[in-house]
Amino acid sequence: MSAIFEMESVSKTYGKGHVAVNAVDHASMKIEPGEIVLIMGPSGSGKTTLLSMAGLLLKPTEGRLLIDGEAINGKSESQIADLRLHTLGFIFQAYNLLSALNARENVEIVMNMAGKRGKAASQRATDILDKLGLGNRKHHLPADLSGGEKQRVAIARALANDPQLVLADEPTGNLDSKTGEEVMELFCHGMGREQGRSMIIVTHNPEFERIADRVLWLEDGHLSNGNGRRQH
């Protein structure tokens, strides 16, 4: 079985000449189907830039990205947008929920964008929220939800189109330790291995190491397996 995602010697440089900054410098990795991979490192090391390129939100300066063995380089913006909608799911530290929509609608709108509408979209959104323990909160607006509930809605939204790969940027960064632990368990049991879904998680939280298959370390733009992190 081929890797679901590959990054081949990818770099991202901001600026030119003597003011150029290499946010990511010739990073390479492969993510296998169903694999949970952490990316850790100090603040400012390029983790969010790396994740943004993996999520096709940011174009690399150099290198290649492949999904299911197919190179992304040269694809049109509409093709890339289609991949983001159908193949990738995103979870952000700041939740990024739409304040005017209730929990169910925040999940449903992602399916609408992918062409799934009406009762089918509404029912799937309801089913996912039920599984995440939000069945009685689906009609609440984000302002009426706790931080943990907002993150669960964000997780439901990421799963709405049944993506092969979920990318999460500091998913417990805004949560207290108890709520963060509950959300982390969802990553392990409700999203990843049980459904054969691959995940790339950028985090400072060492507790995530116990659910990960591999931990990669990013520092000064360089991605490695070292720094004493657990590897498989």
If you average pLDDT over residues 148-177, what whole number do you get? 88
Residue 228 pLDDT greater than 50, yes or no: no
- Percentage of the residues of the chain whose pLDDT score is greater than 70: 93
Q: Is 1 exposed, middle or buried (0-12, 13-18, 19+ CB in 10 A)?
A: exposed
Tokens of 87: 């193949």
Q: What's the chain's average pLDDT?
A: 88
Instruction: Report pLDDT digits (tens) over 43-91.
Output: 888 999 999 999 999 999 999 999 999 999 889 999 999 999 899 999 8
Question: Quick one: which of 33, 67, 40 has its CA closest to 193?
Answer: 33
In this structure, the strands spanning 214-219 and 222-224 are: antiparallel
Model confidence at 190, pLDDT cuts 50, 70, 90, reads: low
The SS3 of residue 194 is helix
pTM of the model: 0.88
- What is the pLDDT at residue 175? 79
Question: Quick one: which of 163, 165, 217 has its CA closest to 31?
Answer: 165
**DSSP-assigned beta bridge partners for residue 19:** none
Domain ranges in the chain? 96-162
